[in-house]
Every structure is written in structure tokens, then in C-alpha cells.
Amino acid sequence: MTFNCIEPTVVFQEVPDEISLCFSITGCKLACVGCHSTELWNERNGEALTNQRFKSWLAKYKNLISCVVFFGGEWNQAALIEKLIIAQASGLKTCLYSGLDTVDDQIIKHLDFYKTGRWDKSLGGLSSPTTNQRFIDNKTGNLLNHLFL
Ligand code: SF4
């Protein structure tokens, strides 16, 4: 199973206290008003993130990252879970940024962290005290939004 992603980048703020390799998956159907990443709407954008290609990215960044974060991809549950299992087997933490309000239990059990909630300009993102979005530590169940303020 696979989906497409744009070229991954290393990010420092999306997961607190972690250095993360960020995979932005294309094919998002939520169409949030004011979306800053409309290139992610068309599932044909980017290149196929096969398991082999994913492993190659992890090998390239071995010892440089502590976590992988997926922006989307929950719409292809099997493909996402395969990648999360590979990442955890490589000793990495895992995080999902979802625009939905809930994440499926089958996915959650492979996550260390997850963000829920669509983009709403009037409420702001995780750095806004009025945000609708929630960043959860899945091991403790604690809300970590305060770390983004
Ligand atoms: S979930 Fe993210 S990528 Fe998808 S439309 Fe909303 S802001 Fe854009």
C-alpha cells in the first residue's frame, strides 16, 4: 500500500523536544478555508512513498532525527500504519497531524503523539490560545498545547 508525499524535511517545532522528519502526504480532501498547503490536495502530487523509499529516507537521516511526523495520510490507513510500524522498529517516535477531530484506534496505537482539528483561521493554530486543534501525548493522554504557546 502506498500514497504520495512531497520531499520530506527536518522540522523542529511540530513535535516538542523532538527532531522530526516530516512527510507531507498528498490527497487531503478536507479543503479547509485558508489552507496554506493546497499542493497537498491533489493525490497525484509528489512521489509514491513506498515502504522501500520510506526506509531509504530513514536510513539517510539515521542518528539525526528522533521522530517522524506525518502531515495527513490517515485516509490510507494501511499505508500509514505500515510506515509507522517501520519507524517504530527503527527506534523513532511517531506523530500524526490530522485535520479530523478524531484518529482511528488502529492508527492511534502506533503513535506517540497526534494533532487533531482542521485549520480555522478565526481560531488559529496550535500557537493560539483559542485554537480548536489539540496536540496529544498518546503515552500519557496529556494535552500538550501549552508547549506551542
Ligand atoms: S487538513 Fe491541512 S492540508 Fe488538508 S485542507 Fe486542512 S489545512 Fe490544508
**pLDDT tens for residues 114-130?**
999 999 999 999 999 99
CA distance 80 to 92: 15
In the reported structure, the alpha carbon of residue 118 is separated from the centroid of ligand 1 by a whole-number distance in angstroms of 7
Number of domains in the chain: 1
- CA-closest candidate to residue 71, choices 110, 114, 16: 114
In the reported structure, the alpha carbon of residue 32 is separated from the centroid of ligand 1 by a whole-number distance in angstroms of 5
Which ligand 1 atom sits nearest the alpha carbon of residue 99?
1
Contacts of 86 (CB under 8 A, 6+ apart): 51, 54, 55, 58
CA distance 39 to 8: 14
CA distance 19 to 68: 8
CATH number at residue 85: 3.20.20.70
Q: Domain residues for 76?
A: 4-148
Tens digit of pLDDT for each residue in 47-106? Answer: 999 999 999 999 999 999 999 999 999 999 999 999 999 999 999 999 999 999 999 999
In the reported structure, the alpha carbon of residue 34 is separated from the centroid of ligand 1 by a whole-number distance in angstroms of 9
- CA-closest candidate to residue 103, choices 76, 125, 74: 74
Alpha carbon nearest to ligand 1 atom 6, residue: 32
Contacts of 119 (CB under 8 A, 6+ apart): 32, 33, 34, 35, 36, 99, 125, 133
Q: Give the per-residue pLDDT at 1.
A: 77
Tens digit of pLDDT for each residue in 15-57? Answer: 999 999 999 999 999 999 999 999 999 999 999 999 999 999 9
**Most informative mutation of 6, 35, 115, 131 for ligand 1 (most atoms within 8 A of CB):** 35
Mean pLDDT for 130-140 is: 98
| Residue 18 φ then ψ, to 5° | -125, 150
- CA-closest candidate to residue 81, choices 25, 15, 18: 25
- CA-closest candidate to residue 118, choices 10, 37, 46: 37
In the reported structure, the alpha carbon of residue 66 is separated from the centroid of ligand 1 by a whole-number distance in angstroms of 25
Kind of pairing between the strands at 67-71 and 47-48: unpaired
